[in-house]
Amino acid sequence: MGYRGIRHALLVFLTWTLCAAAQAQNLHQQGAHERFGAPVGDFDFYLLALSWTPGFCDVEGDRKGKPECFTRGRAGFQVHGLWPQFENGDYPTFCDRSRNFVPGASLAIAREIYRDKGLAIGEWRKHGECSGLEPSLYYQAEIALFRKIRIPRTLVAPAQPLRATPGEIAQAFTSANPGMIEPDMVSIACRSGELEEVRFCTKKDLSGFRSCGGTAPDGCGSGEITIAPAQ
């Protein structure tokens, strides 16, 4: 093999190595924050996620045929889940597979906030198992927290698309819940430039809300996003 052949082979090898390293790093980053099978009850705080149903349906729910999208005009904000979190941004999942079963009595409680039985069960298995609570108490905690939050008047059922920054949305919840919620306790999640979720950080003992500490990802940036109308 001549000099040119050796040089070409080296370039091909180096290119392949760099691509493989980049792909491995990307995969590592994608799964870096999930602690599968972490010890039950080992976490620092909760994240209560409320889906903005019109936005969720626009970006993925309609395509996936989600039940909550069939009547989205009456939905507005819906509970997505209550997720144990760590201070560093990691989160535990599927902590005790022996507790997969959700009794019918617990699902009857969940019906108040979950239109989709499959979502209620899935949220328990992925996140609820890690809480250390029984399924009925886990769903009751979600209901109690959801009832505490007053939705800003402008976000109850907007008839037209709205434009706002994540900071403005967080401030709207602060103004609607004075003395209970501060802007740093709220994390806004969006996709494709649309509001998808509003998330609230809560104390581990569920006694109230707390700062997210900058660990709750939102993926929105600081510019304006669209809030899809509720009909």
Distance CA 76, CA 159 (A): 11
Per the domain annotation, does 179 fall within a domain?
yes
69-73, 139-143, 224-228: which has the minimum mean pLDDT?
Answer: 69-73
pLDDT of residue 4: 53
Q: What share of the chain is helix, strand, coil (3-state, %, to 5)?
A: 45, 20, 35
Per the domain annotation, does 79 fall within a domain?
yes
Q: Are 218 and 186 in contact (CB under 8 A)?
A: no
Number of domains in the chain: 1
Enumerate the H helices of 158-216 as residue ranges.
Answer: 166-176
- Selecting among 68, 80, 142, 194, the annotated active-site residue is 80
Question: Domain with 155 in it: what CATH number?
Answer: 3.90.730.10
Domain that holds residue 84: 34-227
Mean pLDDT, rounded, for 194-217: 90
Question: Position of tokens 């198992």?
Answer: 129
Six-digit token string for 92 = 């535990």
Per the domain annotation, does 158 fall within a domain?
yes
The verdict on whether 127 is a catalytic residue reads: yes
Residues paired with 52 in a beta bridge: 77
Per the domain annotation, does 1 fall within a domain?
no
Length of the chain: 231
Q: Which residues of 74-83 are buried (b: 16+ CB within 10 A; e: fewer)?
A: ebbbbbbbbb
Element counts in the chain: helices (H) and strands (E) = 7, 8
Per the domain annotation, does 113 fall within a domain?
yes
Per the domain annotation, does 164 fall within a domain?
yes
When pLDDT is cut at 50, 70 and 90, the band that residue 115 belongs to is confident
Per the domain annotation, does 15 fall within a domain?
no
Q: What is the DSSP secondary structure assignment for residue 86, as one 8-state letter?
A: -
The verdict on whether 123 is a catalytic residue reads: yes
Q: Give 119-176 pLDDT, tens digit per residue.
A: 999 999 999 999 999 999 999 999 999 999 999 999 998 999 999 999 999 999 999 9
Residues paired with 191 in a beta bridge: 194
Q: Give 88-113 pLDDT, tens digit per residue.
A: 989 999 999 999 999 999 999 999 99
Distance CA 131, CA 178 (A): 28
Distance CA 166, CA 52 (A): 13
Q: What is the DSSP secondary structure assignment for residue 65, as one 8-state letter?
A: T
Per the domain annotation, does 10 fall within a domain?
no
- Selecting among 28, 33, 112, 123, the annotated active-site residue is 123
User: Percentage of the chain surpassing pLDDT 70?
Assistant: 77
Q: Is 183 exposed, middle or buried (0-12, 13-18, 19+ CB in 10 A)?
A: middle
- Selecting among 33, 34, 60, 127, the annotated active-site residue is 127
Segments of the chain assigned E as strands: 34-36, 45-52, 77-85, 91-93, 162-164, 186-191, 194-203, 225-227
